[in-house]
Every structure is written in structure tokens, then in C-alpha cells.
Chains A and B, each alone.
Chain A
Amino acid sequence: MQGLSTRFAFKILSKVFNFDSTEVAANPVHLLYVLEQALEREQLPSEVFERYLGFIKEFLAPRYVDFIGKEIQTAYLESYSEYGQNIFDRYVTYADFWIQDQEYRDPETGELLNRQSLNEELEKIEKPAGISNPKDFRHEVVNFVLRARAQNNGMNPSWQSYEKLKGVIEHKMFANTEELLPVISFNAKASKSDQKKHEDFVARMVDRGYTEKQVRLLSEWYLRVRKSQ
């Protein structure tokens, strides 16, 4: 069997935890760096080396940019969960009517949505997340929600309880969050309210399991990578 042994991974872990000179802590950005260094030192055959490096460049690093971006945005959005629930409830209702091929009248605005416009509304949420098979996806979500409702006294489940739709909604929520830059950056703040927002942001990140030093490092790394993309 080919591949890297558990011992190799253990050695990487020790290095990552002791990478920072002031605190014993690990984070994925240091991990990416340590991994690359270690691979160079391993004297692997060049094609294996290229392949392993490819894993970092192709999958791990880009995926982590997404991940930390989401972490930062979630911590940035205070009312993150209400907003999410809203989109979730709406998506489920639309999808349900679409599946049954019925027209939907919005109880608040009185607007009538036919199958065509329901489809458009649903696609607005699905497109940014790259759902390649919307028909199955809608069926699956509605199926899940109906079953959950039956066990939950007719209430919709929390939007975070269905991992796949949660990802889709987050994509939709974070499609345009350029305004978060001043809050997450660690530069001197222009106004008191920005300063307060920034501190709240850091506190929420620490709640999520980061140290303050890591929040700084990861935010700066994220901004840098975003800029270069």
C-alpha cells in the first residue's frame, strides 16, 4: 500500500503545534506551510512529490480559503442564524409548490408565482452553490423537511440541521460581503463603531475555537489570498 504513514502525520502535527514562537497552537495555514516544507525534505521521487504538492495546491488550500471565508463571514454576520432560517423556510415552501406543480400566492405581498417564476427563485439560491441536479435536490430537501415536521409538531426544522442545504444557503448569504473588509482587518479603525464591530467579530471568532493571534493571522491570510485571486 502506498501513501504517507500515520507516523509522518504525527511528526507534521508536532511541528505545526510548535511552529509559532510564542504560543503552542495549531492552525491550517501553518499546516499548509509545514507540509510543503516537510515534503521537500522527504526526498520523494519527483512525480510523487508533484502529486502530493498538487493535493495542497489543488484541493486543500482553495478549500480552506472557502472554509475560513465562511468562518469569518459567519462571525461577521450577527444575525446570521435568523437570516438563514428565513431563506430556508422560503426555499422549502417554493420547492414544495414547485414539486406539486402548483402556483404559490405569497401571503404577505399577495404576489402570485407560477411554476416558471418559482423555478427562477429556487435557482437563485441553487446557482451560487453549484447544485448540478436541482430536481433531485429539491425532492430530497422537501422530503427531509416533511419528515422532520412530522416529528416536530409541524414546525420546520432548524436550517442548520440539513447539512447540504445549510451549505447552499450560506453560499447565498455570502455572495456579496465586500463590506466586511474594514471590520475584519486589523488596521486602525476610522470610527468608534467600526472598532466595536471589530472587537465583537474577534470575540465571536474566539468563541468558535480560535486564539486571538490566530484570528489575526487567518484574517490577514484570507484577505491576502482574496486579493491575489
Chain B
Amino acid sequence: MITFKTDLPAFKQEDMSLEEYLALCRRDPKVYASAAERMLEAIGEPEVIDTAKDPRLSRIFSNKVIRRYPAFAEFHGMEEAIEQIVAYFRHAAQGLEERKQILYLLGPVGGGKSSLAERLKLLMERIPFYAIKGSPVYESPLGLFSPEEDGELLEKEYGIPGRYLRSVMSPWAAKRLKEYGGDISQFRVVRLYPSRLNQIAISKTEPGDENNQDISSLVGKVDIRQLELYSQDDPDAYSFSGGLCRANQGLMEFVEMFKAPIKVLHPLLTATQEGNYNPTEGMGAIPFDGVILAHSNESEWQAFRNNRNNEAFLDRVYIVKVPYCLRVSEEIKIYQKLLEDSSLNAAPCAPDTLRMLAQFSVLSRLKVPENSSIYSKMRVYDGENLKDTDPRAKFDSRVPRCSWGR
């Protein structure tokens, strides 16, 4: 029996006063956790594997201890990329430079970038966060406090470290505060689950037409129907519909980022570095405290990188390379996964079929070695020991097999 009435926690909004919220903060620091911290919690603890104990893994990973994350279990042969992504979130969660950087997945077509992005968004949805009730940009209630005046008190009374008070008040909140006569206790706080469907703290931006795409797809724009009621620079006449507005305290995915015109990207610079960006109208800055996830192919990246005008950007990008899989046995698992999810899961598949296809794919991705055959190279990369059949086959076996451009 299917129940048609949803009572998922995502649809229940818990609503509380600012006082109650601060009390909650004192009890549980997770209440004011940043997007990166929540992501790290959703990813969970890795399974630690000592590769020295398995002869094949030991040849591939040269006896290093590797971590496997159950949250990314079906991403076969991508240990290195996943390790780097997790490192990004870990450093960002610790409040280091990474929290000001754009997470950028770079790799060839069909290498799994989009699947990784989808998985990260899914993980983001797992942990709830707290925002001012009614705020169009889901701003953190802590943004209402000023670090200079209230910082010391919050740290002493509620144990909230100063670095969480970085964000500014949005123009919307500033206007409400004026209406409340400066009494911040009139703000209510809600607990929300990020949602891809409702664009709560998760958004996706795609590059549009060179001629008509402007920064409004990131920062929002004035809602012209409201102009008969409000003046043009009034926050209530502004539609906070841009990707950055929706993804505050969450994750914004920018598909094929470097296909977008450069002027569109500028708000990203201040959004990441200073934690706020300017709207199109003459209002105050809007806060942003989330993760920006971008991805694109190598050709666009090359073109972008070679342009000296883009230096400011290059310095603010944390690159994670997502190459093709170069290990035959992992490639087979990728195919098995595809078949399992299709109606072919019961169709007979003669032994060696998938292996042959995987070998072909891997061979096409390898560079021809000088001292041995490409076939031996493929087998060595898969962790086989060729000492007896092809003793000349020596490759740099210390490099993890999925490294770049091999």
C-alpha cells in the first residue's frame, strides 16, 4: 500500500524564536554548522583499507593506506578524485582557505563529473540547517549579529566561535529589522532540509546564450511587477531567484562553468572571497556562505587558463581531476553497475564479454609505452604481476593507476 500523504521530515518546518535557537546552538554546535561541515557529516566515516595486506592492491597503491567512503561506493576506480573532494570539504569545514574556493571538477567527457555532482547534491540534502524564517536567501540567523558588538558575548555565552559570524545581513533582513524597530528578537528561525526539487540551498546554473545571459542568473533581478508598490531599490521588489541566492548555506552547481561569459562569473569572486555579492539594483550586499561546485571539460579549461585576464579566477579554483578509469577490473564494475540498473540485469552475458570491452576502453586511454607493449602496461595498471611473462614491463608503479594523461 502506497501512502500518498507525505510526512517526510523535509516537509515539516520547525519554527522557533531566536532565543530558542541560541539555546540550541549552545547545546549542539551542529546547529550552526557551515555547508562544508554538513557535507562532511553526510559523507561519513571512511572504511580504511591497508593495501599492504592484499597483493594486488599493494601493487596498485604501493602499500599505502587508502580510504573508501560508503557514500561514494559506486564510483569505481575514482579513489583519488574522491579523496581530493573529501579533503576539500574537510579543509573548508576547518575554516581554512578552501572555504573561499570554487570546487572545480575537471575531466574528459563521460568520466563521471556530473554523476559526482549529483551525488554531492544528494548528500547535501541529508542534513538540515537553520535559517531566518521567510528569508529569500535562507540566511543564517547568526548574520543578524555583528561580530564587533556581539561576537564576544556569543562566544562566551553560547560557545559560537567568531568565524561563524562572517556573513552580513541581507537587504531583506535589514528592511525587516527597520520595521521591527531594531528588535532582532522578533525574527523567527526555521529548520530546513536542503532540497534540489524546491531549490532550497541547492541550485544549478547552466551557461546560457552569450547575448542574453547576464549576472541575474546568479544574483537575481528586480521583479518588475512589484515596481508599482515599491521603489526599484527596495528589497521587497527584488526577486532573489539567482543561483547564488538559492544556494546560500548550501551548494551551487555551475554546469560547464567556463562556457559562460566571463562577466557572468564576476559575482562568484566576491561571493567566495568576502562571503557576499552585490545585487543588480542599488541595495546592500547579499550574503553567501555555501559551496560552489563547477565542472567542465579540458578544452574549455585550457582556453580559460591561457587567458591572462582570468588570473583572479585561477587562484580561487580548487581543481579536482576526474580522469577516465584505467583499471580494467574497475571499468568492468562500472559496466556491471549500468547493467544492474537496466532491464538487462537478467540477460545472459557470456564470460569475458565485459572484460574484453573494458580492456578495449582502457587500451584506448593509455599512452603507448616505450619499453614494452601497451597490453602489458594495461595489465600492470590493473595490479597484475608480470614478472614471469614480461619482465621488461616496468612502469612507474608508485603512481596510482588513475593518474592523469597516461
Q: Is the CB of B391 within 8 A of A132?
A: yes
Cβ-defined partner of A7 (8 Å) among B110, B349, B359, B363: B110
For residue B224, which residues in chain A have a CB less than 8 angstroms away from its CB? none
Q: Are B360 and A56 in contact (CB under 8 A)?
A: yes
CA distance A23 to B346 in the complex (A): 12
If A31-B353, A55-B363 touch, does A130 touch B348 (CB 8 Å cutoff)?
A: no
**Do residues A64 and B352 form an inter-chain contact, with CB atoms below 8 A?**
yes
**Set of chain A residues within 8 Å of B375, measured between Cβ atoms:** 58-59
Q: Mark A181-212, 1 if CB is under 8 A from B, else 0.
A: 00000000000000000000000000011110
Expressed in whole angstroms, the Cα–Cα distance for A68 and B334 within the complex equals 24
Q: Contacts A6-B324, A56-B360 known; A218 to B352 CB distance under 8 Å?
A: no
Would you call A219 an interface residue if the criterion is a C-beta within 8 Å of the partner chain's C-beta atoms?
A: no
- Closest chain A residue to B368, Cβ basis: A51
Contact B353 A24 (CB under 8 A): no
Could you tell me if B389 and A13 are in contact, using CB atoms closer than 8 angstroms?
no
Give a binary string over A40-59; 1 marks a CB under 8 Å from any B CB, 0 the rest.
00000000000110011011
Q: B338 to chain A: which residues have CB within 8 Å? A: 10, 13
Q: Which chain B residues lie closer than 8 Å to A154 at the CB level? A: none
* Chain A residues, Cβ within 8 Å of B334: 6
Chain B minimum-CB-distance residue to A58: B375
Contact of A67 among B110, B348, B352, B357 (CB under 8 A): B352
Tally B residues with Cβ within 8 Å of A.
42
Other-chain contact of A4, B339, B351, B365 (Cβ < 8 Å): B365
Chain A interface size, as a band, is 35 or more
The verdict on A9 contacting chain B, using a C-beta distance below 8 Å, is: yes
Interface string of A18-41 (1 = CB under 8 A from B): 000001111110011001000000
Bound Cα distance A83, B82 (Å): 47
B361→A31 contact, CB < 8 A: no
The 0/1 profile, CB within 8 Å of A marked 1, for residues 350-384 of chain B is 11110011111101111000000011000000000
Interface: B405 (CB within 8 A): yes
**Given known contacts A6-B334, A59-B359, A210-B351, A1 and B107 CB-to-CB distance under 8 angstroms:** yes
Beta-carbon contact of B109 and A7 below 8 Å = yes
Q: Is the CB of B364 within 8 A of A52?
A: yes
Chain B residue nearest to A131 in the complex (CB): B388
> In the complex, A67 Cα to B323 Cα: how many Å?
30
> Which A residues lie within 8 Å of B347 (CB)?
17, 24-26
Q: Which of these, B111, B363, B388, B391, contacts A59 with CB under 8 Å?
A: B363
> Which A residues lie within 8 Å of B358 (CB)?
9
Q: How far is the CA of A137 from the CA of B385 in the complex (A)?
A: 12
Which residue of the partner chain B has the closest CB to A209?
A: B351
Q: Provided the pairs A3-B365, A4-B361, A164-B388 are in contact, do residues A28 and B352 lie with their beta carbons within 8 angstroms?
A: yes
A215 vs B337: C-alpha distance when bound (angstroms):
26
Contact A9 B356 (CB under 8 A): no
Interface of A is mostly: helix
Whether B356 and A133, one on each chain, are in contact in the complex, defined by CB atoms closer than 8 angstroms, is no
Q: Assuming A3-B364, A60-B359, A131-B388, is B350 touching A28 (CB within 8 A)?
A: yes
Q: Is A176 an interface residue (CB 8 A)?
A: no
Whether the Cβ atoms of B324 and A35 lie closer than 8 Å is no
A24 and B344 contact, CB distance less than 8 A: yes
Q: A14: shortest Cβ distance to chain B, in Å?
A: 8
User: Are A132 and B388 interface neighbours, CB within 8 A?
Assistant: yes
List chain A residues, Cβ under 8 A from B361: 3-4, 6, 8-9
**In the assembled complex, which residues on chain A have CB atoms less than 8 Å from the CB atom of B359?**
59-60
Contact indicator A4/B364 (Cβ below 8 Å): yes
Q: Quick one: which of B350, B388, B405 contacts A214, CB cutoff 8 A? A: B350
How far apart are A128's CB and chain B's nearest CB, in angstroms?
A: 13
Are A13 and B357 neighbours in the complex by a CB distance under 8 Å? yes
Residue among A1, A4, A208 with the highest chain B CB neighbour number at 10 A: A1
Is B349 within 8 A of A31, CB to CB?
A: no
Please indicate the chain A residues that have their CB under 8 angstroms from the CB of B110 in the complex: 5-8
A23 — which chain B residues lie within 8 A by C-beta?
348
Q: Are the C-beta atoms of A13 and B405 separated by less than 8 Å?
A: no
Please tell me if the beta carbons of A35 and B360 are within 8 angstroms of each other in the complex. yes
C-beta contact mask, A97-108 vs B, less than 8 Å → 1, else 0? 000000000000
Q: Which residues of B contact A27 (CB under 8 A)?
A: 349-350, 353
Known interface pairs A1-B365, A3-B108, A5-B109; A208-B351 also in contact (CB < 8 Å): yes
Given the interface contacts A130-B389, A133-B388, A137-B388, does A16 sit within 8 Å of B298 by beta carbon?
A: no
Instruction: Tell yes or no: B112 within 8 A of A by CB.
Output: yes
Contact code string A69-88 (vs B, CB < 8 Å = 1, else 0): 00100000000000000000
CA distance A13 to B357 in the complex (A): 8
Chain A interface (Cβ < 8 Å from any Cβ of B): 1-10, 12-13, 16-17, 23-28, 31-32, 35, 51-52, 55-56, 58-60, 64, 67-68, 71, 130-133, 136-137, 140, 164, 208-211, 214, 218
Other contacts beyond A12-B357, A28-B356: 6, CB < 8 A: A3-B364, A4-B364, A8-B110, A31-B353, A60-B359, A131-B389
In the assembled complex, 19 residue pairs joining A and B whose CB atoms fall closer than 8 Å, in A order, are A1-B111, A1-B298, A3-B361, A4-B364, A6-B110, A9-B358, A24-B344, A25-B347, A27-B349, A32-B356, A35-B357, A55-B374, A58-B375, A59-B359, A64-B356, A130-B389, A131-B389, A136-B387, A164-B388
**5 nearest A-B residue pairs (beta carbon):** A5-B110, A3-B365, A27-B350, A7-B110, A25-B348
